[in-house]
Structure formats: structure tokens, C-alpha cells
Amino acid sequence: MSGKPRKWLLLVPLALAVAVLVLLLRNRSAPEQIALTEIAHPVQVISVPSLTVTPRATAYGNVEPGRVWDAVAEVSGRIIELHPELKKGELIPADTVIVRIDTSDYLLALRQVEADIQASEAQLAELTVSAANAEASLAIEREALRLAEADLARLA
């Protein structure tokens, strides 16, 4: 088969599609125009003077907060300072120091731990020296054993 029949097979559907498109565009009608009518409603107008109003609400019953926060300290100790606005129902801004706890107990415990670490390091150094001395003594005793075995072998 040559390339011409294939070309015609592709062009025939394309030509039909273009013809249908042209036919549809020529026969279309414009959308129907609807005239807009304005409807007027009668109203009454009253002039009102400007007033300053303070909104108030009066209610009876019990009021409960939407959220309740129970403060729990991560550490224990003696409280040395409280925020002056720390009262029931007061709002305190975020990142505000509310309570200060005495740090002397913690500093003392820190110094004690540092001293314990130094004592442990000294004990480790002492044990390291003792181990080195024991290794040296073992080497000397092995050499003495070797010499004694050599003397025994020579005498026997």
C-alpha cells in the first residue's frame, strides 16, 4: 500500500469534524435577553442620635472555666518568690516567671555530685596503678618461675 490512501483516511474524519463545527457555529442563536426591572420597596426612616453604650450582662448561677491548668513543679524546693498577680481568676502573660524556687539545695547537690566524680576518678587512677603494679609483679614472678624451672632442669 502506498502513503496516499493512508493520508486520505486521516483527512476525511478531520474534514467532517471541521464541517460539523462550521455548521454548528452558523446555526446557533443568541441567548434570550431578559429586561431587568427595578423593584422599589417602601420603607420608613427614623433618625437616631449617637450614644455611648457600655455593654453589660447580668446572669445568675455558677461560672466554670473552659480550661483548668494544674501546675506541677518538675523539681522540689522552698519557694522564695511568687508573682504578685498569681491569684485565682487572674490572667498572666505567657513566658512570665510565676514562681522562683530556692536553688541552694540543687547547688549543694551539684557540688556533692562533682566531688563524687572527682573521688571516683581518683579511685580509678589508683586502681589503674595497682593493676599496672600487679602486671609488673606477675611478669617478675613468671621470670622467676622460668629461671627456677631452668635450674631444676639443669640439676635433674
108-120 tens-digit pLDDT: 989 999 999 999 9
Beta bridge partners of 79: 101
Position 2 in a domain: no
Domains in the chain, number:
1
The candidate with the shortest Cα–Cα distance to 69, out of 52, 90, 53, 48, is 90
Position 14 in a domain: no
At 2, the pLDDT band (50, 70, 90 cuts) reads low
Q: Are 93 and 99 in contact (CB under 8 A)?
A: no
Position 37 in a domain: no
Position 106 in a domain: yes
Position 66 in a domain: no
Position 58 in a domain: no
Q: What is the pLDDT of residue 25?
A: 84
SS3 37: coil
Residues of the chain above pLDDT 90, percent = 34
Position 136 in a domain: yes
Q: What is the pLDDT of residue 120?
A: 97
> Does 64 score more than 90 pLDDT?
no
> Does 21 score more than 60 pLDDT?
yes
Domain with 132 in it = 79-155
> Does 124 score more than 80 pLDDT?
yes
The candidate with the shortest Cα–Cα distance to 97, out of 88, 85, 89, is 85
pTM value surpassing 0.85: no
> Does 33 score more than 90 pLDDT?
no
Q: What is the pLDDT of residue 114?
A: 97
Position 127 in a domain: yes
